[in-house]
A and B are shown apart, each in its own frame.
Chain A
Amino acid sequence: MQRGTTTARSVNRVMRVILIGLSVAFLSLILVVPVASVLGYAFSRGLDVYLATLRAEDTLAAIRLTLVTAAIVVPLNTIFGVAAAWAIAKFDFRGKQALITLIDLPFSVSPVIAGLMFVLLFGSQGWFGPALRDNGVQIVFALPGIVLGTLFVTFPYVARELIPIMQLQGREAEEAAVGLGAGGWTVFFRVTLPSIRWGLLYGVILCNARAMGEFGAVAVLSGHIRGLTTTMPLQAQVLYDEYDLVGAFAVASLLMLLALFTLLLKSVVEAFGARRRRT
Chain B
Amino acid sequence: MAAAAKGWVGPSVLPGFGMTLGLAGIFLTAIVLIPMAALVMHGASLPPSEFVRIATEPRALASYRLTFGASLLAALINAVFGFIVAWCLVRYEFPGKRLVDAIIDLPFALPTAVSGIALATVFAPQGWIGRWLAPLGIEVAYTWVGVVVALTLIGLPFVVRSVQPALEEVDVTFEEAAESLGASRLYVFRRVILPTVMPSLATGFTLALARAVGEYGSVIFIAGNLPLRTEITPLLIVIKLEQFDYVGAAVLGLVMLFTSFVMLLTINAINGWRIRRVAGRR
Indicate if the CB atoms of A179 and B118 lie closer than 8 Å. Answer: no
What per-residue 1/0 map shows which CB atoms of B12-23 lie under 8 Å from chain A? 111111011101
Indicate if the CB atoms of B152 and A30 lie closer than 8 Å. Answer: yes
Q: Which of A34, A120, A183, A255 has the most CB of B within 10 A?
A: A34
- Give CA–CA (A94, B8) in the complex, Å: 5
Indicate if the CB atoms of A117 and B38 lie closer than 8 Å. Answer: yes
Task: List A124-167 residues whose CB lies under 8 Å from chain B.
Answer: 124-127, 148, 151-152, 155, 159
Indicate if the CB atoms of B129 and A33 lie closer than 8 Å. Answer: yes
What per-residue 1/0 map shows which CB atoms of B77-88 lie under 8 Å from chain A? 000010011011
Task: List B1-47 residues whose CB lies under 8 Å from chain A.
Answer: 3, 8-10, 12-17, 19-21, 23-24, 27-28, 31-36, 38-39, 42
Task: List B233-280 residues whose CB lies under 8 Å from chain A.
Answer: 234-235, 237-238, 241, 244, 246, 249-250, 253, 256-257, 260-261, 263-264
Task: List A14-29 residues whose CB lies under 8 Å from chain B.
Answer: 15-16, 19-20, 22-24, 26-27, 29
Which of B42, B103, B179, B257 meets A27, CB within 8 Å?
B103
Task: List A220-279 residues whose CB lies under 8 Å from chain B.
Answer: 220, 232-234, 236-237, 240, 245, 248-249, 252, 255-256, 258-260, 262-263, 266-267
When distances are taken between beta carbons in the complex, the residues of chain A under 8 Å from B246 are 119-120, 123, 125-126
B102 at the binding interface (Cβ < 8 Å): yes
- Give CA–CA (A252, B120) in the complex, Å: 13
Task: List A67-126 residues whose CB lies under 8 Å from chain B.
Answer: 76, 79-80, 82-84, 86-87, 90-95, 99, 102-103, 105-106, 108-114, 116-121, 123-126
- Give CA–CA (A215, B81) in the complex, Å: 27
- Give CA–CA (A109, B257) in the complex, Å: 7
B224 at the binding interface (Cβ < 8 Å): no
The chain A residue with its CB closest to the CB of B111 is A213
Indicate if the CB atoms of A102 and B84 lie closer than 8 Å. Answer: no
B194 at the binding interface (Cβ < 8 Å): no
B72 vs chain A, min Cβ distance (A):
16
B246 vs chain A, min Cβ distance (A):
5
The chain B residue with its CB closest to the CB of A155 is B31
Interface range for B: 35 or more
Q: Contacts A20-B94, A92-B10 known; A87 to B17 CB distance under 8 Å?
A: yes
When distances are taken between beta carbons in the complex, the residues of chain A under 8 Å from B129 are 29, 33
When distances are taken between beta carbons in the complex, the residues of chain A under 8 Å from B16 are 86-87, 90, 184, 188
When distances are taken between beta carbons in the complex, the residues of chain B under 8 Å from A184 are 15-16
Which of A40, A79, A152, A255 meets B113, CB within 8 Å?
A255
Indicate if the CB atoms of B113 and A237 lie closer than 8 Å. Answer: yes
The B interface is mostly helix, strand or loop, or mixed, namely: helix
The chain B residue with its CB closest to the CB of A18 is B84
What number of A residues sit within 8 Å (CB to CB) of B?
102
When distances are taken between beta carbons in the complex, the residues of chain B under 8 Å from A196 are none
- Give CA–CA (A31, B234) in the complex, Å: 23
Which of B13, B19, B33, B216 meets A219, CB within 8 Å?
B216
When distances are taken between beta carbons in the complex, the residues of chain A under 8 Å from B111 are 212-215, 232-233, 255, 258-259
B156 at the binding interface (Cβ < 8 Å): yes
Indicate if the CB atoms of A252 and B213 lie closer than 8 Å. Answer: no
Q: Which of A102, A113, A213, A232 has the most CB of B within 10 A?
A: A113
B21 vs chain A, min Cβ distance (A):
4
B127 vs chain A, min Cβ distance (A):
8
The chain A residue with its CB closest to the CB of B28 is A102
- Give CA–CA (A184, B20) in the complex, Å: 11
What per-residue 1/0 map shows which CB atoms of B126-163 lie under 8 Å from chain A? 01110000000000000000000100110010000000
B230 at the binding interface (Cβ < 8 Å): no
Indicate if the CB atoms of B27 and A80 lie closer than 8 Å. Answer: yes
When distances are taken between beta carbons in the complex, the residues of chain A under 8 Å from B196 are none
Indicate if the CB atoms of A121 and B112 lie closer than 8 Å. Answer: no
When distances are taken between beta carbons in the complex, the residues of chain A under 8 Å from B87 are 19
Indicate if the CB atoms of A152 and B249 lie closer than 8 Å. Answer: no
- Give CA–CA (A187, B12) in the complex, Å: 14
Q: Contacts A34-B153, A152-B35 known; A11 to B10 CB distance under 8 Å?
A: no
Indicate if the CB atoms of A120 and B214 lie closer than 8 Å. Answer: no
Indicate if the CB atoms of B110 and A259 lie closer than 8 Å. Answer: yes
B205 at the binding interface (Cβ < 8 Å): no
Q: Report which A residues bind B (CB closer than 8 A).
A: 8, 11-12, 15-16, 19-20, 22-24, 26-27, 29-35, 37-38, 40-41, 76, 79-80, 82-84, 86-87, 90-95, 99, 102-103, 105-106, 108-114, 116-121, 123-127, 148, 151-152, 155, 159, 171, 174-175, 178-179, 183-184, 187-188, 206, 209, 212-216, 219-220, 232-234, 236-237, 240, 245, 248-249, 252, 255-256, 258-260, 262-263, 266-267
Q: Report which B residues bind A (CB closer than 8 A).
A: 3, 8-10, 12-17, 19-21, 23-24, 27-28, 31-36, 38-39, 42, 81, 84-85, 87-88, 92, 94, 100, 102-107, 109-122, 127-129, 149, 152-153, 156, 179, 185, 210, 213-217, 221, 234-235, 237-238, 241, 244, 246, 249-250, 253, 256-257, 260-261, 263-264
Q: Which 3 A-B pairs have the closest CB atoms?
A: A110-B214, A213-B111, A92-B10
